[in-house]
Amino acid sequence: MNIISVKNLSFSYSKTMHIINDVSFDIEEGKYVSILGPNGSGKSTLARLIVGLLEKSDGNISLFETEVDKKNIVSLRKDIGIVFQNPDNQFIGATVEDDIAFGLENKLLGKEEMRDIVHEYADALGVSQFLHKEPSNLSGGQKQRVALAGVLALSPKLLILDEATSMLDPKGKREIFELIQDVKKKNPSLTIVSITHDVEEAYLSDQIIVLVDGKVVFNDVPSKIFNNEEKLKEYHLRTPFIYQVMKTFNPLGYEIKETDSIEEVANKLCR
């Protein structure tokens, strides 16, 4: 089953410049997909088109095998969670607790059940100590954690992360990624689409769609994309760290594989 199906999608703010230009791709249920590309490539615009926050100029978008139109987009969004690069754009509640609970209130859950879910995800995202604070008083990284807690609490079928860890330090990014992976293991049918320019994050995806100047230039598994180093340079993208290590050390007799963890790489280099 395709959770997202995009066919010949185009979008422009003017008649002369297309931000998204004849884009087509499918994303299957349960996949973790990265939409990768340099700044200004149209990644965030594509995410907004998918969830109906922008109106397409041409083409078709289907979600959960239903073609999106003005009549059904609101009902389709009930199964979608999206975290934007700037979390200020999605805060509604007066406190962190209210904000995480907002979507659950719309599901008409009981107060006790709702409170348990709020605390579960607040604990998981490390924001329990902020539950009674105003979101506006938090740091950028704390705000992103709160926004993600609110979305995950709704148990969406499709999770879209639009540069959702951009305000976090490396440790925070790793913690959030591990949490999302844990959520994914508990719910294998969850489909995750990560809009990113971070090749290290994209490397761990099932599928990568590379967007450059509003066009899809790659749509494949990570190994096939990152082995095309010359094309990546042309698109101002670098290869992940593991590929750089392989290129440097394998000619010297080491047998480092693209599937090796950092620990396995370190052990091989220290032998």
Inter-residue contact 189 to 157 (CB < 8 Å): yes
Dump pLDDT digits (tens) for 176-207.
888 888 888 888 999 999 998 888 888 889 99
Q: Is 106 exposed, middle or buried (0-12, 13-18, 19+ CB in 10 A)?
A: exposed
Q: What is the mean pLDDT of the chain?
A: 88
**Given a cut of 80, is residue 17 above it in pLDDT?**
no
**Given a cut of 80, is residue 90 above it in pLDDT?**
no
Helix/strand/coil for 218: strand
pLDDT at 35: 95
Closest CA to 122 of 94, 100, 155: 100
For the chain, strand residue ranges (E) read 2-12, 18-28, 32-36, 58-63, 66-67, 80-83, 158-162, 191-196, 207-212, 215-220
Cβ partners under 8 Å of residue 126, min gap 6: 145, 175
Inter-residue contact 3 to 16 (CB < 8 Å): no
pLDDT at 22: 94
Read off the pTM: 0.88
